[in-house]
Structure 1
Amino acid sequence: MLPIAKPAPKLTLKSTISCTNNPNNYGTNSKPTIWSNNLMSLAIAVALVTPLPSSAIPSLNSKPFSLPSTTTPFSQAQNLPTGLENGKIRPCPSINPGCVSSNPKSSNFAFPWRILGYSSNSAAIQQLQDALLKTQKNVKIQLVEDTPNGQYLEAEVDGGFGRDVLEFLVNGDVVSFRAMATKVTYVYPFTTALGDSKGQEKRIKQIVNELGWYAPSFDSMD
């Protein structure tokens, strides 16, 4: 005689019975649970496939961040501009105390020269070159140029602290000029540049005396 199999015990889930027996619970608890799971899965999927903002990932070609460059009187003094400005000889830079210029905006001002027995701009420029070679050391003519405001001459010579630059503009019988050091010297820890204005004034006087041109001065006006 075969044994009679006993029926398996009936398992019940209280949470399931509670949800299915109560229609109110089915409407309020079950759906939010399903929707919250779906939303969480969707959020994870979006996070995995959505690229990060470009600003958050540094590009290989992007330039490194750098602080704004600061300009100091020393850095400015190492590269002083030359040549005419608005058709005129430039004034002396405030960071170059040894400069002498016939531009009236200069703190160290000198009157323009007057050519005696004037012939032409070209002849005056040639006389200037000859006077430079006779009175200065290691003269190097940098530029001779015709401009709408006259003929311009730029030259470099040996100075007290290195090389000095001399500029002249001949316009008729009037000669404007500027003489200054190409580099300004500082002595640590002082921040004021060393000037050689007396040296520049002496150089200008040597040149004009060699030329025999008239150089007005404040003393001559007394």
Structure 2
Amino acid sequence: MVPFSLTAAHGSIHASTKQVGCQPLASKGLNHTEQQAGEFRSSRRLVLLLGIASASSLQRPASATPYKEAENIQYGLSNGNIRPCPGGYNPNCVSTASLNDLYSPVWRSSLTSIATSAQVLDSAVMQSSDKAQIVIKRSMPNAEYLEYEVPGLFGRDFMEFLIKADKGAGGAGEENSEGAIVLYRSIAGNVKYLYPFQTAISDFGAQRKRLEAIRQTLGWRKLGCDLKECFE
């Protein structure tokens, strides 16, 4: 639409300028100075119209809006660790790697074996939802990584777990006598925004509640907490 209007406007102005130039000066009573002023005004108007039309036809460059960022949520480990929550555009998340209100404490497994802890955790996740599906299961030296897809309020949610030996363990390769530690992240796979604002709609703490239910099923405690409430 814009190129058509631009051509029409350009042609109209060009024709108008041409007609003025073809009329005898005597018929308009113009002297040489007035003729130059008229041509200048016509040329200036043409430049302005061309500039406006050209600006309107330019496409706005893509920017990193929350909508775009929410479409590219990153999953998996980052340098061997659980990722923090991208709270800037997806607050429906909890992670042991976050440093704000989206943080959740590490769990301590009641089992010393990392592999056995992963198996027990897998059973608890599957029991938490009949539609839970495992996406990735990867064994690493002294660690197990599990990723699940579960139904969420806005579509799919993803839970990631990293079970590994505590750094306070004895020698290399030895299993911690106090039990393996469990790092995790639970995040909504889809983000809904309150139109026209760029404010994400809350899932009312669904991620934290789901994880807490799994932890209570396992009977594992929160790391760094020795009170009775740590098990409840």
Give the TM-score, by structure 2 length.
Answer: 0.61
Q: Which of 89, 99, 103 pairs up with 2:93?
A: 99
Matched with 2:62 is: 69
Matched with 1:182 is: 189
Secondary structure of 1:111 counterpart: coil
Matched with 1:109 is: 103
1:90 aligns with 2:83: yes
5+ residue gaps, structure 1: 1-64
1:132 aligns with 2:139: no
Contact 2:85 2:98 in 1 (8 A): no
Query: Max radius of gyration: which structure?
Result: 1
Query: How do 1:1-222 residues align onto structure 2 when only pairs under 5 Å count?
Result: 68-94=61-87, 95-116=89-110, 118-148=111-141, 150-172=143-165, 173-196=180-203, 198-216=205-223
Contact 2:160 2:184 in 1 (8 A): yes
Matched with 2:7 is: none
What letter matches 2:134 in structure 1?
I
Structure 1 residues 186 and 136: alpha-carbon distance in aligned structure 2, compared to 1, 3 A threshold: same
Contact 2:138 2:144 in 1 (8 A): yes
Cα distance in 1, alignment partners of residues 83 and 141 from structure 2: 16
Cα distance in 2, alignment partners of residues 170 and 132 from structure 1: 14
Aligned length: 156
Matched with 1:3 is: none
Cα distance in 1, alignment partners of residues 98 and 191 from structure 2: 22
What letter matches 1:168 in structure 2?
F
Secondary structure of 1:89 counterpart: coil
Cα distance in 2, alignment partners of residues 69 and 125 from structure 1: 42
Structure 1 residue 136 displacement after superposition: 2.0
Cα distance in 2, alignment partners of residues 70 and 148 from structure 1: 40
Cα distance in 1, alignment partners of residues 63 and 197 from structure 2: 19
Give the TM-score, by structure 1 length.
Answer: 0.64
Which shows bigger deviation, 72-81 or 142-151? 142-151
Structure 1 residue 198 displacement after superposition: 1.5
CA RMSD of aligned residues (A): 2.3
Matched with 1:40 is: none
Matched with 1:16 is: none
Query: % of aligned pairs identical?
Result: 38
Structure 1 residue 161 displacement after superposition: 1.2
Contact 2:114 2:142 in 1 (8 A): no
